[in-house]
């Protein structure tokens, strides 16, 4: 929920989005919880947000959702939204 970044299902974060700047280098990334063991989050304050939870696609959909099931549609959507072409380091040059 605003003003927090990421993808949320109510008060639970489904996907974390982050940017790190340091030593003249900027890096960014995201973590989409597909079939994450959510019990690990019982031991920390996720993203430093008191009173907020963490969820996963598997938990929200009530069925196992593996990373390999969402990877291709996610990457296709990413390319469409950001009008770009993704290149894998495994692709031949």
Report pLDDT digits (tens) over 11-34.
899 999 888 899 999 998 989 999
- CB burial string 76-92: b at 16+ within 10 A, e below: eeeeeeeeeeeeeeeee
On whether residue 24 sits in a domain, the answer given is yes
- The catalytic residues are 47
Give me the number of domains the chain comprises.
1
The answer on pLDDT for 43 being more than 80 is: yes
Q: Which tens digit of pLDDT belongs to each residue from 47-78?
A: 888 889 999 999 999 999 999 999 999 999 99
Instruction: Decide which of 2 and 57 is more confident.
Output: 57
Provide the whole-model pTM: 0.79
On whether residue 31 sits in a domain, the answer given is yes
Query: Where in the sequence is the domain holding 24, given as residue range(s)?
Result: 7-82
On whether residue 2 sits in a domain, the answer given is no
On whether residue 93 sits in a domain, the answer given is no
Q: Which residue has the tokens 């989050």?
A: 41
């Amino acid at each position: 929920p605003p003003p927090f970044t990421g993808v949320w299902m109510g008060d639970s974060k489904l996907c974390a989005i982050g940017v790190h700047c340091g030593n003249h280098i900027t890096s960014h990334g995201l973590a989409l919880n597909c079939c994450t063991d959510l019990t690990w989050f019982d031991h920390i304050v996720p993203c430093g947000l008191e009173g907020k939870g963490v969820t996963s696609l598997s938990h929200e959909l009530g069925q196992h959702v593996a990373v390999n099931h969402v990877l291709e549609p996610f990457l296709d959507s990413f390319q469409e939204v950001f009008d770009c072409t993704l290149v894998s380091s495994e692709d031949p040059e």
